[in-house]
Amino acid sequence: MGASPINRIDDYPQAILNKIDSIFELGAEHNIDFILFGGDMFESYNASTSVIRRTLEWFKGRDIPMISILGNHDLHGHTLNTFHRSAVSILDVADFVEIIDVSEKYGVRGLHYYTGLEEDMTKGNKTPSEKMQEVLAGDETIWAAHAMISTEELKFISRNILVENIQVAPHTKLVLSGDYHAGFPITKRDDGVIFANPGSLSRRNVAKENLIRDVQVALVEYEPYDFDGDIEIEYIKVKAQPAEEVFDLAAIQDKKDVKVGTLSYIEKLKNLEMSDTIDDLESEISKFAGEAGLDNEILDEILSRLYDLQT
Ligand SMILES: [Mn+2]
């Protein structure tokens, strides 16, 4: 959350508040015990005081406990030991949201973002880190991971991993992931482990997926540490305005006309070797754009799309 993104014509912070209201209403309706956030609650670890204040106002007096994991946007330099400097840590210390490593009460393991998390979650790649070995030795029923997990390959995102390649602990029944804004359908593997990501609550840009997808949450019913019982999960739509009411689609059409001129440039881009990190990719593209004489506004648009894809 934070400033209104380009192309949004509604009151973006108000739209988020409406969604939060709607989630708590759904929570009460379904008599839930707690709410789990998938990380990246704020756009930046360094969110402004006014944004933090507003969030505290929104959460104040809510009677459903909230727990969360940490996303890449929550951490300065993607480093966990900078947590105390992050905006979300204020919510944690004030007991508005509890950041969890393990919640014994709910049987949930939190896998906060760190560089290399996805590789660490992958089967048979290499010996998992010490931290991951500890996670794999745990017996929590649910994993909540801020990791770039998907069911289909995301070819521009180097840290993307597929559901089928993820190693879980013997008693893990469900892996919930954040990070990939588009989300993916509830997916049960042959070994019975379920993977789900309902998608982000915010729609910051006009990527195609944001024009068609539902804003939704996952409702999960289970017994913590019940190794033999079933776990049930479904996605439930959150009340949200339709895309045509939150995005300036006419302005987007104007932009599209301009973008036709960039198609040949994009063709060239396809031949670029994709680098390991988004920073390298950005500098490669910027360099390339300079050589191709690309308009700065279009370059910014491309970079912001990449950024949104990545996070
Ligand atoms: Mn993220």
Q: What is the CATH number of the domain that holds 155?
A: 3.60.21.10
Task: Note the pLDDT of residue 63.
Answer: 93
Q: Do 149 and 210 belong to one domain? A: yes
End residue of a domain, out of 197, 213, 244: 244
Question: Which residues touch 106 (CB under 8 Å, ≥6 apart)?
Answer: 33, 34, 67, 142, 224
Q: How far is the CA of 72 from the centre of ligand 1 (A)?
A: 5
Task: Note the pLDDT of residue 217.
Answer: 96
Q: Do 21 and 128 belong to one domain? A: yes
pTM above 0.85, yes or no: no
57: closest CA among 20, 11, 22?
20
Range of the domain at 86: 12-244
Q: How far is the CA of 74 from the centre of ligand 1 (A)?
A: 8
Residue numbers of the chain with a pLDDT score lower than 70: 1-4, 6, 8-9, 125, 204-206, 208-209, 250-284, 291-293, 297, 304, 306-311
C-beta separation of 96 from 67 below 8 A: no
Q: Is 30 exposed, middle or buried (0-12, 13-18, 19+ CB in 10 A)?
A: exposed
Lay out the sheet containing 98-99: strands in order across: 35-37, 66-68, 98-99
Q: Do 180 and 87 belong to one domain? A: yes
CA separation for the pair 172, 132 (Å, rounded): 14
Q: Do 269 and 219 belong to one domain? A: no
Task: Note the pLDDT of residue 17.
Answer: 87
Ligand 1 is an ion; its neighbours by CB within 5 Å are: 40, 71-72, 179, 311
Percent of the chain having pLDDT more than 90? 59
Task: Note the pLDDT of residue 275.
Answer: 42
Q: How far is the CA of 39 from the centre of ligand 1 (A)?
A: 7
Residue 170 covered by a domain: yes
Q: Do 191 and 271 belong to one domain? A: no
Residue 249 covered by a domain: no
Task: Note the pLDDT of residue 276.
Answer: 45
Structurally, the chain folds into a number of domains equal to: 2
Q: How far is the CA of 282 from the centre of ligand 1 (A)?
A: 17
